[in-house]
Structure 1
C-alpha cells in the first residue's frame, strides 16, 4: 500500500497549488478560530473545490458541536474529518454515525502511557494520528505547535506489545524537511503530516519547504523497510 504525505493548515490558493504540485496525497483545512491556519467557510469552500479530485481533502475540527460540523461539511464537502480536540471515543462514534464521513482521531503523545488511548480510538475511528501532546499552557493550540514527541517511544515497540499502536498510523508533530526521514526510519508510520514545519511564520506556508518535505518524505518511505504485516492495512490513499 502506498504511503501518505499530508500537508495541513493550507489557507491560500497559491500554497494549496504548491502542495498539490509537489505531490501531497492529502491536504488539510483547519476550522478552529484560535489557529493562525483557520479558514472561513467561504475560503474553505474555494480551497476544497480547488483540491477536489487532486488530493484527499481533510477538514480539521477541534471539539466542534454538531451544528458547526454540519456547517463546515456543507461548505467544504471534505473526504475525511480530522478530530483534533478532546473528543471521547463515544463522541467519535456519534460523529461517524451522524455525518457518514470517515474520521481520523488525533492522539496526543508525551509519554509511553499516552499510547494506551490508541486502542480505544482505533476501535471507533477510521484512522489514528499520533501528534505531540500540546504544552501545558492555556494559550497552547491542540496541534500545529511545531513540537515533536520522543519518537523512541514508538521505535522500541513491536506488534503485539501492550502499547503497540496496533496498526497503521499517521505521524505528526514537529516534522519538517530536515527531520522527516529520521522520523520515518525510527517509527515506520504509514503516513506523515506537517503544518508549521513548512512555514516561514505562523500560518504562512512556504512552497519551497512544502516541496522539500514531500521529496524527503517520499525518499524516506522508499528506503524504509516494509512495516509488519499487522500494520499494512488501514490508511487508504
Structure 2
C-alpha cells in the first residue's frame, strides 16, 4: 500500500482533509512557479494543523538558489526540489541537514545518481517507467505524480508499484482548492481510507 502525499495545499482546511485521508505528506508550493504558490505565513498555517506523523513539504524550484529564510520561515520539515538534479540535491542536503529539514527530489531527467539519503524521489508518471526500466534503481522511497486522479490511481499503482502517490491538480475543484471527496476517494483506492 503506497503512502499518500497531497500537494499544492494552500489552506489549513485542505490540510485537515489530507490528514483525515491518511496522508503522510502535505505539500505547499513555497518557491516555484505555480497558481498554488503560498507565502511563508500561509505555509506555516498549513503546517500548524498537521499532527507530528504527517510531514509538511515545501516545494521549491531547484533551478534557483535555495532561499533558506523562506524554507525556515515556512515551517516545513521536507524540501522537495522540483526539477532537481544531483548537484541541487547535494547542495540542499548540505545546507538543510543542520536544521532538521530533509530533502526530496522531483528530478527533471533520469541519471544514474541514486539520491542516497533523500526523503523520497518523485517521478512524473509519464516518464516513470522509462526511467526505472533504463537503470532499475530502488534506492529510496519512490513516488509517482502528474495528474493522478481518483479515476486513474488504481492503474497508476498497478503499473508502477510506487511507495508514494502524489496528488494535486487531480483532486481539485480549482487550482489550490482541494475536493475532499476526490482526496478521500484516492485514499480509499490505495487502501488508506475505510
The normalised TM-score by structure 2 is 0.85
- Cα RMSD between the aligned structures? 2.3
Which residue number in structure 2 is paired with residue 89 of structure 1? 86
Matched residue, 1:166: 138
Secondary structure of 1:81's counterpart equals: strand
How far is the alpha carbon of 1:47 from its aligned partner?
1.2
Q: Aligned partners of 1:125, 1:23: CA distance in 2, in Å?
A: 22
Match of 1:29 in 2: 28
For the structure 1 residues 13 and 125, does the alpha-carbon distance in structure 2 shift closer, same or farther, using more than 3 Å as the test?
closer
Equivalences for residues 1-237 of structure 1 within 5 A: 3-32=2-31, 34-63=33-62, 64-66=64-66, 68=67, 70-85=68-83, 87-100=84-97, 101-108=101-108, 114-115=109-110, 117=111, 119-123=112-116, 125-131=118-124, 148-149=125-126, 153=130, 157=133, 162-167=134-139, 168-218=141-191
Compute the displacement of 1:76 (Å): 2.2
Shift in alpha-carbon separation, 1:152–1:96, aligned structure 2, 3 A = closer
- Maintained 8 Å contact 1:59/1:82: yes
Question: Which runs of at least 4 in structure 1 moved beyond 6 Å after TM superposition?
Answer: none
What SS does the aligned partner of 1:65 have?
A: coil
What is the total number of aligned residue pairs between the two structures? 187
User: Hey, what's the Cα distance between the residues in 2 that align with 1:88 and 1:124?
Assistant: 14
Task: Check the 8 A contact 2:43/2:75 in 1, yes or no.
Answer: no
CA 1:74–1:102 in structure 2 vs 1: closer, same or farther (change >3 Å)? closer
Shift of 1:194: 0.7
| CA positional deviation for 1:195 | 0.4
Give unmatched runs, 5+ long, in structure 1. Answer: 109-113, 132-147, 220-237
TM-score (norm. length: structure 1): 0.71
Which structure has the larger Rg? 1
- Stretches of structure 2 lacking an aligned partner (at least 5 in a row): none
Normalized per residue, which structure has more strand?
Answer: 2
